[in-house]
Amino acid sequence: MSDKLFFGNKSGDDILKIVSGFHSFPAPGVILGTVMVDYALLMLPAESEKDVIVETTHCLPDAVQLFTPCTYGNGWLKVVDWDRFALTIYDKHTLEGFRVWLDLEKLKNFKDIYNWYMRLVPKKSLPLEVLNPAILEAGAAICSGKKVKVTGLYGKKEKKNIEVCPQCGEPYVSTSGQVCPPCSGSGYFEYK
């Protein structure tokens, strides 16, 4: 496997543009994510139907949504909130997959990226114009990967029974209580 992946015939500039168009700016975490997605995909059969699990809510989900068919809303991407830069892409039928993670030992050889990831320097001293090319140049050389069998979190998220909240009249999932979450006091808004 080459350390330089770059999504087939896409250039680094192409990737920066695609990422900016969706994520609103070329966040280094998404750029790093594109490398990780590409690495995992190269290690799996092209023809299999794939789902993805991502281990942080920050940045990495957007790389998956941009460079695979798996999105948060179609349910083929699942996210666990471990603040860990790692992902697993796997065959949704056999559950055989490949996990890729940012490898700190390898990253130590790439000082700028290491300092950014470990938050050892202020953001301002590492502009995106330095950091992003460094990540694209490093490619998969800063990651490790291993075959896995997925043992949890797989499968379709079941839709539950919909009932009408007796208090507000909106539909809600009845397993969450006698009234809906906002009516039971766990909402995030107040009407004006």
User: Under the rule (CB under 8 A), what is the footprint of a copy of itself?
Assistant: 22-24, 27, 29-30, 33, 53, 57-63, 65, 69, 71-76, 79-80, 82-86, 88, 96-97, 99, 101-102, 104-105, 117-119, 146-154, 157, 159-160, 162, 164, 169-173, 176, 180-181, 187-192
- Shortest CB 187 distance to a copy of itself, Å: 7
Cβ proximity to a copy of itself, 2 vs 169, nearer residue: 169
Q: Of 107 and 134, which CB lies nearer to a copy of itself in the complex structure?
A: 107
For residue 53, which phi and psi values (nearest 5 degrees)? -120, 130
Closest CA to 103 of 153, 134, 144: 144
How do strand 171-173 and strand 162-164 relate by DSSP bridges?
A: antiparallel
How far apart are alpha carbons 30 and 35 in whole angstroms? 9
End-to-end CA gap in the chain:
58
In angstroms, give the least distance from the CB of 146 to a copy of itself.
5
Distance CA 153, CA 130 (A): 37
CA distance 75 to 64: 12
Is the CB of 2 or the CB of 151 nearer to a copy of itself?
A: 151
In the complex with a copy of itself, the residue whose CB is nearer, 12 or 181, is 181
Q: How far is the CB of 151 from a copy of itself (least distance, A)?
A: 6
